[in-house]
Structure formats: C-alpha cells, structure tokens
Amino acid sequence: MTSDPTSQTPDSDHWARIAEDWITWVRTPDHDAFWAYRSALAEFIGSGSGDALDVGCGEGRGARLLTELGYRVTAADPVDRFLEAARELDSAETYVRAPAGALPFADGRFDLVMAYNVLMDLDDVPGALAEMARVLRPSGRLILSVVHPIVEQGDFDGREATAGLVMQGSYFGRRRFEDKVSRAGLNMHFAGWSLPLEGYFAALEAAGLAVRTLREPKPELTADRAHLNIWGRFPLFLWMTARKA
C-alpha cells in the first residue's frame, strides 16, 4: 500500500466538490460522450464471469457495464457521494472507499481491473498503475481508457465540426488542466493532469505491465449527438488492455 486508503488526495477533493454536477451530467441521456462509445466499450471489454474491480468508479456507469457483461464487480472510489450514487442503481456487488493508489485488496485478487477515464485525475499515475498491477491475477487483464493525449494537450480553433486542432505549448511533459464546460443547461468543472503517450507507457512498463491491445474508438454519431461530430475526425479516447509482462 502506498498510502492510507481512507485518505483523500487533492484530486478526490475536487471530485467531491463537483459530485452532484457530475452525477447529473453523466446520467442525462446522450449528454456525456460515454453514451456514444458505450456499445464499442462493451465489445472491447467482452463478456466474462470473473472478479472485476472498477477503480475510480464514480457514479457507477462502468461498474454497471461490467455487471451487464457478466462480471462480479467491486466498485472502488475515494468519494463517498459517488459510492452512494453507484449503490442507488445497484452498479456492483461490493463497494469500497479507496483511492487508486492504495487499493485495500490482496495481491492477485481480480481477474479484470478497469480504470475508465481515471488516470487523468491522478497526481501519481505510476503509483496507481502499480497498485492495479498488484491486485491483478497473473493471467488477468487491465483495461484502461484515457482522454487521447493528442487532444488532451491541444485545443480546437472553433466549436464547429470542421474545426482544427491547435497545440497549446508543448505536447511533451506533464501539466495541470482545468476546463469549465456548460451545455444544455448543465455545468461541469473538469480538472486533472495531461500526459503524453510516452508518459502512460512508461508508467505501465514500470508497473510490470505490457500493452496487448490499443484502440482509438469512434463514437456512434446521431442527430442528437451533433456536439460530438468533431470526434468523428479526431480520437477523443485511447483504450488499452494490458497484462503482466
């Protein structure tokens, strides 16, 4: 264990402050991008029957998907309100208050560990990945999703679907980001850390993990998802599966 599993990091403090906004944001149908990628994510994960851990479960959307796919799911998050929200929709079998860098589970406990759009929120990505590797069985899979480093490190020169991507400063290195977004009467305050692709792979290598598959998924675009059209041209997410090397 790298720290007291009952402690909260500054990152979880941020999410605790905006928890209600996030729950409303993500549970409004077709509002968050997750809705347009959900079917592809289910196919990427695949069905199973083993023990799965959803790290940084938030309000439970990833845990519910794992449950639908047949896994016995443990949902972990350092924010009490998120665990409460996940319980409200029966997202998992077990709920544990814990940060990603201090998972209170035995070595090799899980067949599958998932961290869906969590690594960008963490101050210590190598430490968190080392913990995920520790609780993963030797034959288990780690499933990761991050906002694609290419778009994370830049910005668009407009809001229309044909806008171009402009790099802000250097792509290389680690930097703090904050983004306040308002859409359809809902507000969200995103904050975290952006890393180049090399930063994620170096952390995986240090944790003894090797990437086996990599995807740059495209969204399912509909008339109701016009705000996502730009992601038909640029990759919004990067998905990876990794195993112990």
pLDDT tens for 93-107 read 999 999 999 999 999
Helix (H) or strand (E) holding 114: strand 110-116
Predicted confidence (pLDDT) at residue 6 exceeds the cutoff of 70: no
How confident is the model at residue 11, as a pLDDT? 73
How confident is the model at residue 8, as a pLDDT? 37
Quote the crossing angle between the two packed helices 80-88 and 19-27, to the nearest 10°.
Answer: 30
How confident is the model at residue 125, as a pLDDT? 96
The residues near 112 (Cβ < 8 Å, ≥ 6 apart) are 45, 48, 50, 51, 52, 53, 66, 71, 140, 141, 142, 143
Q: What is the mean pLDDT of the chain?
A: 92
Average of per-residue pLDDT across 32-49: 97
pLDDT bucket at 9, cuts 50 / 70 / 90: very low
Q: Taking the C-alpha atoms of 46, 47, 53 and 58 in order, what is their torsion angle to the nearest 10 degrees?
A: 70
Percent over 70 (pLDDT), the chain: 96
Question: What homologous superfamily is domain 10-149+196-244 in, according to CATH?
Answer: Vaccinia Virus protein VP39 (3.40.50.150)
Percent over 90 (pLDDT), the chain: 78
How many whole angstroms separate alpha carbon 101 and alpha carbon 103?
Answer: 6
How confident is the model at residue 5, as a pLDDT? 34
Task: Tell me the per-residue pLDDT of 178-229, one tens digit each, with 9 for 90 and over.
Answer: 889 999 999 999 999 989 999 999 999 999 999 999 999 999 999 889 889 9
How confident is the model at residue 2, as a pLDDT? 31
How confident is the model at residue 189, as a pLDDT? 94
Average of per-residue pLDDT across 13-28: 95
Average of per-residue pLDDT across 19-29: 96
Task: Tell me the per-residue pLDDT of 140-189, one tens digit each, with 9 for 90 and over.
Answer: 999 999 999 988 878 888 878 889 989 878 889 998 888 899 999 999 99
Strand partners, 214: 240
Tokens of 16: 């605790």
- CB distance 239 to 232 below 8 Å: no
| Residue ranges covered by each domain of the chain | 10-149+196-244
Predicted confidence (pLDDT) at residue 41 exceeds the cutoff of 90: yes
Helix (H) or strand (E) holding 242: strand 237-244
How many whole angstroms separate alpha carbon 35 and alpha carbon 225?
Answer: 9
- CB distance 126 to 155 below 8 Å: no
Predicted confidence (pLDDT) at residue 128 exceeds the cutoff of 90: yes
